[in-house]
A = this chain, B = another copy of it.
């Protein structure tokens, strides 16, 4: 491709409304343009990346015998009513009606439609298992679309659905899909983690998210140094300490802590570690007007999802109001301690501390040298906190590290959630009707592009992984317009590179070299060649990889082979 036929739409300035780096770079490099809130037009350079992502996904789907279909984006309300989601799904579901006032929605996902297809097309266990997939524009009416295509309203998704006679067959396909997803993200050239998305069941495999790792990721992921364990931090189990609690060795005393409310303030004031302080949080309980105390170590964070799942705690989680705190503890929130007449639930680690500091339930005072069982009744214990780096892995192997990630894939064992509601049955070996078991498998195609950039960029622009780069090689001849000799050499090289199967973008228009090079870096082409008169004299060409510190000279005769080696 030549720039004269493939004009770039790069911008010098960073658009003011783009908050994250991938959004900024996608606009600056000319991959997308905003049409309206959460709606983006993909420009030719972006399309080239999209196609590469799609092709890799399709290729790996074919390898696991998934069959491509294409369902309508506009879906009749009746099927969503059958599944119950017409009422359950919130305002993210864009509902509309046609000229005859029949109700439809714009599909955010296609479980209902595929299950309807399955119940019509499949009648016997002999037709199972079967997996259908599609690559299609979806619509979710996000309340606050942001971060460009990372969280847009219209986006492209690969969604696959599998149908099975039993759980065992589902598990088999699920495992294949897990491997296919691993292959896909490996081929993308991205640093990623498959992460258990199933709360509770350690080692369970009912649902995995695939995250591209990036510091700006919305999700925190805990993964083990010693095993494949990885889980969204919201769902990673914190194991109870294995050793015995230390003995009570200090006297309980009351200390004045005037104006000291937070753990930081109190621990600094008293000259002790935050891990030796316990914080007590009051939240609404399940029983009417009840308040429950949650106790955590000062250096740990409450995991609200874990707390919500406890039977004593109201869901969604609500912190007690100041009035409720006053009524239950007799003081302001900053001085609450666990010595209360209400239900007290301590995190395993908080219940493991001896001789601790805590609020005295009296404004301006704390207690020191407090011990469970001696000064305060032993509490109910539970896993209430977020895991932290260094925690033991919940599968018992290795310790946890915490990284941030962007969710780009999700595989899910649906079981009979939809097939039951829509009565999608087949006849089994004995000729009896059996509800099919289902799995579903999504990849956010457009989001992958943003995530790849979020992970791979520098001050100069995007750094595309080889396999999803819009072009392999940028060829920049210096002042080609002024020299027939250089023009001929550039054209010859362009042809040689193209014939070798490399995708070349040649800068064949009159443009300053500095501007060409800045654009090449901004749009992130992995390999860059600069060809000048002087190089021609020596039969050499200047090469620089996108992440190389320095440029180098390569024999013109060897450049094709050189690049083919680099590309591998």
Binding site for B on A (CB under 8 A): 5-7, 9, 33, 35-36, 39-44, 47, 50, 65, 67-76, 91-92, 94, 96, 98-99, 106, 113, 116-117, 120-121, 127, 130, 132, 136-137, 139, 141, 143, 153-154
| 26 A–B contacts from the bound complex (CB under 8 Å) | A6-B67, A7-B130, A33-B117, A35-B71, A35-B113, A35-B116, A36-B72, A39-B72, A39-B74, A39-B76, A40-B72, A41-B71, A42-B69, A42-B70, A43-B69, A44-B67, A44-B69, A47-B68, A47-B69, A73-B73, A73-B137, A74-B106, A74-B154, A98-B141, A99-B143, A136-B137
List, in ascending order, chain B residues with CB within 8 A of A91's CB: 99
Q: Is the CB of A70 within 8 A of B99?
A: no
Q: Is the CB of A96 within 8 A of B94?
A: yes
List, in ascending order, chain B residues with CB within 8 A of A106's CB: 74, 96, 106
Q: Is the CB of A127 within 8 A of B7?
A: yes
Task: Name which residue of chain B comes closest to A73, CB basis.
Answer: B137
Q: How far is the CB of A519 from chain B (nearest CB, A)?
A: 15
Copies of this chain, count: 2
List, in ascending order, chain B residues with CB within 8 A of A132's CB: 44
Q: How far is the CB of A11 from chain B (nearest CB, A)?
A: 11
Q: Is the CB of B44 within 8 A of A68?
A: yes
Q: Which of B9, B96, B98 contacts A121 (CB 8 A)?
A: B9
Q: Is the CB of A47 within 8 A of B70?
A: yes
- Docked Cα-Cα span, A99 to B91, in Å, equals 6
* Residue from A41, A96, A99, A139 having most chain B Cβ neighbours under 10 A: A41
Q: How far is the CB of A330 from chain B (nearest CB, A)?
A: 45
- Docked Cα-Cα span, A50 to B94, in Å, equals 28
For the complex with contacts A7-B130, A91-B99, A98-B141, 13 further pairs of A-B residues with Cβ separation under 8 Å are A35-B76, A36-B72, A39-B76, A41-B71, A42-B69, A42-B70, A47-B68, A50-B70, A74-B153, A96-B106, A99-B143, A106-B106, A136-B137
- Docked Cα-Cα span, A153 to B75, in Å, equals 12
- Docked Cα-Cα span, A137 to B72, in Å, equals 9
- Docked Cα-Cα span, A6 to B120, in Å, equals 17
Task: Name which residue of chain B comes closest to A152, CB basis.
Answer: B72
List, in ascending order, chain B residues with CB within 8 A of A70's CB: 41-42, 47, 50
- Docked Cα-Cα span, A130 to B7, in Å, equals 9
Task: Name which residue of chain B comes closest to A127, CB basis.
Answer: B7
List, in ascending order, chain B residues with CB within 8 A of A153's CB: 74, 98
- Docked Cα-Cα span, A308 to B39, in Å, equals 43
Given that A99-B141, A116-B35, A143-B99 are known contacts, is A69 also in contact with B94, CB under 8 Å in the complex?
Answer: no
In the A-B complex, list the 3 residue pairs whose CB atoms are closest, starting with the nearest.
Answer: A96-B96, A44-B67, A42-B70
Task: Name which residue of chain B comes closest to A67, CB basis.
Answer: B44
Task: Name which residue of chain B comes closest to A110, CB basis.
Answer: B41
Q: Which of B96, B120, B139, B143 contacts A33 (CB 8 A)?
A: B120
- Docked Cα-Cα span, A94 to B99, in Å, equals 8
List, in ascending order, chain B residues with CB within 8 A of A116's CB: 35
Task: Name which residue of chain B comes closest to A68, CB basis.
Answer: B47
List, in ascending order, chain B residues with CB within 8 A of A67's CB: 6, 44
List, in ascending order, chain B residues with CB within 8 A of A99's CB: 91-92, 94, 141, 143
- Docked Cα-Cα span, A350 to B68, in Å, equals 59
List, in ascending order, chain B residues with CB within 8 A of A143's CB: 99
- Docked Cα-Cα span, A510 to B436, in Å, equals 24
Task: Name which residue of chain B comes closest to A65, CB basis.
Answer: B5
- Docked Cα-Cα span, A76 to B94, in Å, equals 14
Q: Which of B5, B76, B139 contacts A36 (CB 8 A)?
A: B76
- Docked Cα-Cα span, A73 to B106, in Å, equals 11
Given that A96-B94, A117-B41 are known contacts, is A154 also in contact with B72, CB under 8 Å in the complex?
Answer: yes
List, in ascending order, chain B residues with CB within 8 A of A39's CB: 72, 74, 76
Q: How far is the CB of A37 from chain B (nearest CB, A)?
A: 8
Task: Name which residue of chain B comes closest to A30, CB basis.
Answer: B121
Q: Is the CB of B72 within 8 A of A41?
A: yes
Task: Name which residue of chain B comes closest to A105, CB basis.
Answer: B96
Given that A9-B121, A121-B33 are known contacts, is A69 also in contact with B41, CB under 8 Å in the complex?
Answer: yes
Q: How far is the CB of A47 from chain B (nearest CB, A)?
A: 5
Q: How far is the CB of A71 from chain B (nearest CB, A)?
A: 5
Task: Name which residue of chain B comes closest to A43, CB basis.
Answer: B69
- Docked Cα-Cα span, A6 to B42, in Å, equals 33
Q: How far is the CB of A59 from chain B (nearest CB, A)?
A: 13
List, in ascending order, chain B residues with CB within 8 A of A69's CB: 41-44, 47
Q: How far is the CB of A139 from chain B (nearest CB, A)?
A: 6
List, in ascending order, chain B residues with CB within 8 A of A35's CB: 71-72, 75-76, 113, 116
Q: How far is the CB of A372 from chain B (nearest CB, A)?
A: 49
Given that A94-B98, A130-B7 are known contacts, is A113 also in contact with B41, CB under 8 Å in the complex?
Answer: yes
- Docked Cα-Cα span, A117 to B35, in Å, equals 8
* Residue from A40, A47, A98 having most chain B Cβ neighbours under 10 A: A98
List, in ascending order, chain B residues with CB within 8 A of A94's CB: 96, 98-99
- Docked Cα-Cα span, A36 to B137, in Å, equals 19
